[in-house]
Structures are given as structure tokens and as C-alpha cells.
Structure 1
Amino acid sequence: MSAHCLLTGRKPGFGNSVSHSHRRTARRFDPNIQRKRYWLESEGRHIRLTLSAKGIRTIDTIGIEAAVARIRARGEKI
């Protein structure tokens, strides 16, 4: 599964793990990505979105119809 959110655009961040002896090794900070299914009333079907935890909370606030409009405005296909 791709590690980016369709709504917020969150992607993995990159940095270093720093040990007790201060040696650095490369690591990746992944966002909390979930696959969630929503009922889209206007189209009469379910859609499955790949969202971050913040994206799920945003949909709870603005509603699925407004969220889908934002995603489609960015050019993503749903």
C-alpha cells in the first residue's frame, strides 16, 4: 500500500535514528495510513480511500462529499 494520504497529502518523512553512542543510521517516518470505506450518497456506491489518521478526522468534520471534492480537485481519481 502506498504510504501517502489522498486527502491531506501526508507522505513519509526521512531522518536518522541516533543511538546512545550517537551513531546515525537512515530511517523513515511513515504516517499512520489506514484504508477506509465510505458510502458516497451522490453516486450511490462505496469508495475505498487510503487516508492518514488526520485525514479520517477531517472527513468526520467536513463530510465525505466535501472531502471527495477536494481530492478530485487535486486531480486524483476515485
Structure 2
Amino acid sequence: MARRCELSGKAVLTGNNVSHAKRRTRRRFLPNLSNVTLQSDTLKKAVRLTVSASALRSVEHRGGLDAYLLKAGDDELSLKARRLKREIAKASEKATEAQAAS
């Protein structure tokens, strides 16, 4: 499993530990990732994703997984999230057509 957020694209960064004597050794800054199950309102199913804590707050702020994915750019999403975004777009398009036909 790659240490990368599937929604925001946050990944591992590298830098230096700097001691009091200014001695530098390489280190890694890991993102705060957690495995979460998010509910898709359009698809009416639960989706399991590896998401950073900041992306999880953004999902809640934007009003759920569907709204977050539709607004997010494809370059920062993982393959799984891009496929999910495409499914949601198709399902919401069908729902819109059904509303218009009624």
C-alpha cells in the first residue's frame, strides 16, 4: 500500500532532522492517513478509501463524498477515486434525466 491519500494526493515528504549541533540526517514526513468507509448518496453504497485527516475534513465541509469528488480535479485523485467519480457523474446524470422526463 502506497502512503498516499486517495482523495487529495498527499504523499510522503522528505527532509532533514537537524540536531542542536546542526548535524543533518535524512527523515520522512508521513501523511496522517486512515482507512475510512464513506457513504455515496448517489450510488447508495459504502466505499472504503485511504484518506488523510485533512481530506476527510474537506469531504465533510463540501457536503459529502459525492460533492467532493465532482469538484476535485482528476490529477490529484487515485485511480479508484477517478472510477468512483465517473460512476457518480453517470448516476447523477441519469437521475437528472429521469427528473426532466417526469
Shorter-chain TM band: 0.7 to 0.9
Q: Does 1:77 align with 2:72?
A: no
TM-score, length-normalised on structure 2?
A: 0.65
Hey, which of these two has a bigger chunk of strand by percent? 1
Percent identical across equivalent pairs? 34
Max Rg structure? 2
CA drift of 1:70 comes to 4.6
Q: Distance in 1 between matches of 2:60 and 2:36?
A: 12
Q: Distance in 1 between matches of 2:71 and 2:17?
A: 35
Residue deviations 1:1-24 (CA, integer Å, cap 9, x gap): 321112221111110101122211
Would you say how many aligned residue pairs link Structure 1 and Structure 2? 77
Q: Distance in 2 between matches of 1:68 and 1:8?
A: 10
Q: Is the 8 A contact 1:7 1:70 kept in 2?
A: no
Task: Please show how residues 3-14 of structure 1 align to structure 2 within 5 Å.
Answer: 3-14=3-14
Q: Does 1:65 align with 2:62?
A: no
Q: Distance in 2 between matches of 1:6 and 1:66?
A: 15
Hey, which of these two has a bigger chunk of helix by percent? 2
Q: Which runs of 5+ in 1 are unaligned?
A: none
Q: Which runs of 5+ in 2 are unaligned?
A: 82-102
Residue deviations 1:40-75 (CA, integer Å, cap 9, x gap): 12222110111111100000011211223356x516
Which runs of structure 1 show a deviation greater than 3 angstroms over 4 or more consecutive aligned residues? none
Question: What do you get for the CA RMSD once the two structures are aligned?
Answer: 1.8
Q: Distance in 2 between matches of 1:70 and 1:49?
A: 18
